[in-house]
Amino acid sequence: MAFEGLADRLQNTIQKIRGKGKINEADVKEMMREVRLALLEADVNFKVVKEFVKKVSERAVGQEVMKSLTPGQQVIKVVKEELTELMGGEQSKIAVSNRPPTVIMMVGLQGAGKTTTTGKLANLLRKKYNRNPMLVAADIYRPAAIQQLETLGKQLNMPVFSLGDQVSPVEIAKQAIAKAKEDHNDYVLIDTAGRLHVDEALMDELKQIKELSNPDEIFLVVDAMTGQDAVNVSKSFNELLGLTGVVLTKLDGDTRGGAALSIRSVTDTPIKFVGLGEKLDALESFHPERMASRILGMGDVLTLIEKAQANVDEEKAKEMQQKMRTASLTFDDFLEQLTQVRSMGPLDELLKMMPGANKIKGLNNLQVDEKQISHIEAIIKSMTKDEKIHPETINASRRKRIAKGSGTTVPEVNRLLKQFEDMKKMMKQMTASSPKGKKKGGFKLPFNPF
């Protein structure tokens, strides 16, 4: 299977070493080969990989790993630390000009998501920083690019500056900034046309826009799925324009996004934001550590926990835990959990954030059907109060009634009842085993997904 995580890869190597008691340089070399493959597989540029592996090897051969009782774990730790370091350590902020308006220029290849990101960024500036941005339609080449930005402006209820597609982008930028001053817009976001980094004429146009509008930020918008070419692209844009930041888009896909690492190390500019969906609020600050986990295929527990914290009531969670321990869970509790988990976002995305999730065979192809969950909800809601507490009382005729009431079928009701029963059994077993005994490959979560 393609896209196995680093943790998996190292597991195999460690299996081989396990009997030895301690590891030597040759073992480290083999581990480094796995690290290298994991990174290449995630689309990290090979040059970046090479340097990275060299750096990690030095640390790995050193004391901290060799003497450790769990060298495999130590290697992963070192790799993750170095990766996080390489990706910029901590998050960076967006510039504010002391002579407004602050000008932000959006540049990139065709189809990277510049226009959408421009809309999202404007939304973020208003919501989070209480700013009053203006959007500038400077893509005069792609058919209907101006309409696209205008539509976004309408959705956001924000001014969009446009002079049609017959005026040069340089002129548009100039007039837009003057207009923003007049109208007291404190941010100007210039959406430029997508262009290939080898297109000299168009690249020159960007330079002119830059010289004239003197932007405070120049953001390169990059598709997270970009392969080895990410290096060439970001290098060209950076050399010509001097980028101040990068926005990584389409990160809600299933790509590992190794391009992030390549870009960061080639341009030495921070990744400031990531695009995580098609809606206008799907732009988030970049977290280097989480990205490191993702590239290595280690899951993104932090985001998961954060989402859980934001959406799950702690008191209720405790209560739930108690119920699980005593295995006195009712269908009411089950339904409540289901709603809470669902409020955190699409289930398949949540699942992918779990560490070790990629180890579960077929999970990558697993499609969580949100409709099925709606069915489960409907079934539970069609039960009487008493049935929810004592599901064992649900006999054949009650099942028929529930199926009818929820618009489902008897087999579906049966399946749910069986699953619920199994879950309760499992809980009993789990609480029966030692409370500290973590199961292999297991993980503790603030809730039980099912």
Partner 1 sequence: MSFFKKLKEKITKQTDTVTEKFKDGLAKTRDSFSGKVNDLVARYRKVDEDFFEELEEILIQADVGFDTVMNLIEELKMEVKRQNIQDPNEVQSVISEKLVEIYEAGGEISSELNIQTDALTVILFVGVNGVGKTTTIGKLAHKFKSEGKNVVLAAGDTFRAGAIEQLEVWGERVGVEVIKQGAGSDPAAVMFDAVQAAKSRKADILICDTAGRLQNKVNLMKELEKVKRVIEREVPGAPHEVLLVLDATTGQNAMIQAKTFKEATNVSGIVLTKLDGTAKGGIVLAIRNELNIPVKFVGLGEKMDDLQEFNAEQYVYGLFADLMENEEE
Which residue number, 87 or 403, has a Cβ lying nearer to partner 1? 87
Q: Total number of residues binding partner 1 (CB under 8 A)?
A: 57
Q: In this structure, are residues 332 and 388 in contact, taking their beta carbons and an 8 Å threshold?
A: yes
Of 118, 132, 238, 255, the one binding partner 1 by CB under 8 A: 255
What Rg do the C-alpha atoms of the chain give, in angstroms? 26
CA end-to-end span of the chain: 27
Which residue number, 227 or 356, has a Cβ lying nearer to partner 1? 227
Q: Is 97 in the site for partner 1 (CB under 8 A)?
A: no
Of 34, 41, 186, 412, the one binding partner 1 by CB under 8 A: 41
Of 9, 120, 131, 256, the one binding partner 1 by CB under 8 A: 256
Distance of CA 377 to the CA centre of its chain: 28
Binding mask 56-85 for partner 1 (x = CB under 8 A): ------------------------------
List the interface residues with partner 1, window 223-242 (CB under 8 A).
Answer: 223, 225-230, 232-233
- Confirm or deny that 110 is annotated as ligand binding: yes
Amino acid at 383: M
**What is the SS3 assignment for 221?**
strand
Of 23, 48, 125, 145, the one binding partner 1 by CB under 8 A: 145
Separation CA 152–CA 150 (nearest Å): 5
Which residue number, 148 or 185, has a Cβ lying nearer to partner 1? 148
Which residue number, 51 or 386, has a Cβ lying nearer to partner 1? 51
Of 88, 101, 113, 299, the one binding partner 1 by CB under 8 A: 113
Q: Is 342 in the site for partner 1 (CB under 8 A)?
A: no
Phi-psi region of 273 (alpha: psi -120 to 50; beta: other; left: phi over 0): beta
Q: In this structure, are residues 35 and 79 in contact, taking their beta carbons and an 8 Å threshold?
A: yes
Can you tell me which residue has the tokens 């099942």?
Answer: 399
Amino acid at 242: G
Binding segment toward partner 1, per CB under 8 A, in 194-202, 282-290, 302-310, 320-328:
194-202
Q: In this structure, are residues 78 and 32 in contact, taking their beta carbons and an 8 Å threshold?
A: no
**What is the SS3 assignment for 3?**
coil
Q: Is 9 in the site for partner 1 (CB under 8 A)?
A: no
Of 18, 20, 22, 50, the one binding partner 1 by CB under 8 A: 50
Q: Is 46 in the site for partner 1 (CB under 8 A)?
A: yes
Nearest to 33 by CA among 4, 54, 61: 54
Which residue number, 92 or 151, has a Cβ lying nearer to partner 1? 151
Which residue number, 367 or 433, has a Cβ lying nearer to partner 1? 367
- Confirm or deny that 194 is annotated as ligand binding: yes
List the interface residues with partner 1, window 358-377 (CB under 8 A).
Answer: 367-370
Helix or strand (DSSP H, E) at 191: strand 187-192
Separation CA 302–CA 287 (nearest Å): 10
Strand ranges in 236-370 using DSSP code E only, listed in sequence order = 245-249, 271-275, 283-285
Contacts of 386 (CB under 8 A, 6+ apart): 393
Which residue numbers belong to the known binding site for GTP?
Answer: 108-115, 191-195, 249-252
Residues at the contact surface with partner 1, assessed by CB under 8 A: 2-3, 37, 40-43, 45-46, 50, 109-113, 115-116, 119, 141-152, 155, 196-198, 223, 225-230, 232-233, 250, 252-256, 258-259, 278, 348, 367-370
